[in-house]
Amino acid sequence: MRILTFTSLYPSRVNPLQGIFIHQRVVHLARRPGNSVEVIAPVPYFPSWLPLPRWRQFSEIPREEEIDGVRIHYPRYPLLPRISMPAHGMLMYLSSLSLALRLHREKTFDCIDAHFVYPDGFAAVRLGKRLGLPVVVSARGTDINVYPSFRLIRPMLRWTLTHAAGAIAVSADLRNKVIALGIPEAKIQVIANGVDTARFHPLDAKSARKQLGLPEGGPIAVSVGSLIESKGHHLLIASVAKLAAQFPKLRLYVIGEGVYRANLEELVREKQLQNKVFLPGNRPNEELPLWFSAADLSCLMSSREGWPNVVPEALACGTPVLATRAGGIPEILTSPELGMFVERNVDSIAAGLEQALARAWNREEIARHARSRSWGTVAAEVEAFLKSKVEPSRE
């Protein structure tokens, strides 16, 4: 099959951390015999001369590049943050149409594989109608957990899912929410994300701590995720404060970046945890196995999730996980031998930390379990689903 992947979440040389899970799926799909994949990843247009560092990075993204043998195109579309959200899908479509038509003329595509239902999936379905191609849309999290509550966006979500040839949900939880939008269950396939088993595997804890410059002794917990309220880092920090006397050598490292950083830094100062809680910012994906291997526990206190990749990645490194039951997390932590669940409040999290840190975990067995689902397995499942939508369209 020749597949056109459409997503605004694709990584680039400017933002290599964005959408790594999509890139993994695409690369492994492209490597399967008989497949080729080309990516259209629209990015907002931003004049390079405007003095806004947060947005200037978009002007630095190339028009085209190749990553791991996959060619990616980055057309520009106009964007007014928040204000133009109801128009994002149409703007993405219009900015990508001429490019998609040209690529389709050069070598015909068989289908479109879109990621994120709105605005990306909306634009992709419109492209599919123009090119005469079946479109499969992948629901990933915020698009289904949050966007249906927006009055102007909900109808476009339903339109996209109704007119797509099929939908992939990365968790059963998301599938059920898609069904709640009025989409037939038969149209939806659950295909969970995989783990990069070449990267995420157990490393020697002592060596990992040394490489990262972490204390050799004492328990370490990590929490990897964007610094936003819904990730619950603030609750975890408050829980560490509650256990300060009981675990005087406990250290928490919150890895990520986001708009909630100032709030978390203020909380650390308020709780006088400057020597216990650290915010090292975003770290390269290839460095995360060191953090997970160095840690005694990986934590995720989210209020909502799709399929949080940091959970299986931590497990693949042999690290037990303490988490809430948000989204697809219960579908990952299927055994008490892999981790523990807590409620999303300070008392429950503190109690969970206490129990998890006191327990002897079988890290080798945790890693073996998590590494059973590779991206190669995911790619085979995606290929089969895409083929099931392509073949009827050829009749």
pLDDT tens digit sequence for 337-356? 999 999 999 999 999 999 99
Distance in angstroms (rounded) separating the CA atoms of residues 247 and 342: 19
Q: Tens digit of pLDDT for each residue in 149-168?
A: 999 999 999 999 999 999 99
pLDDT at 332 over 60: yes
pLDDT at 395 over 60: no
The partner residues of 213 in beta bridges, in order of sequence, read: none
Which residue blocks in the chain are alpha helix, DSSP H? 20-31, 53-60, 88-106, 122-131, 142-145, 154-163, 172-180, 205-212, 233-242, 261-270, 288-294, 310-316, 329-332, 346-358, 363-370, 375-394
> Which residue matches tokens 């203020």?
266
Instruction: Give the pTM.
Output: 0.90
198-230 CB burial, b ≥16 within 10 A, e <16: ebbbbbebeebbeebebeeeebbbbbbbebbeb
Q: What values do phi and psi take at 34, rounded to 5? A: 85, 0
Q: Tens digit of pLDDT for each residue in 292-311?
A: 999 999 999 999 999 999 99
Contact present, 12 and 61 (Cβ < 8 Å): yes
The type of residue at 133 is: L
Domains in the chain, start-ordered, CATH in brackets?
A: 2-194+374-394 (3.40.50.2000), 205-370 (3.40.50.2000)
Contact present, 284 and 17 (Cβ < 8 Å): yes
Q: How many CA atoms lie within 13 A of 221 on its CB side?
A: 28
89: CB partners within 8 A, 6+ apart = 118, 119, 120, 121, 122, 123, 126, 156, 160
Mean pLDDT for 53-59 is 69
pLDDT at 48 over 80: no
Contact present, 96 and 122 (Cβ < 8 Å): no
Mean pLDDT for 260-278 is 97
Return the percentage of the chain with pLDDT > 70, whole number: 96
Coil/strand/helix, residue 244: coil
Q: Tens digit of pLDDT for each residue in 114-133?
A: 999 999 999 999 999 999 99
Distance in angstroms (rounded) separating the CA atoms of residues 229 and 226: 9
pLDDT at 146 over 60: yes
Distance in angstroms (rounded) separating the CA atoms of residues 311 and 333: 8
The backbone region for 116, taken as left when phi is positive above 0, alpha when psi lies in -120 to 50, beta otherwise, is left
> Which residue matches tokens 């196995």?
289
Q: Tens digit of pLDDT for each residue in 272-285?
A: 999 999 999 999 99
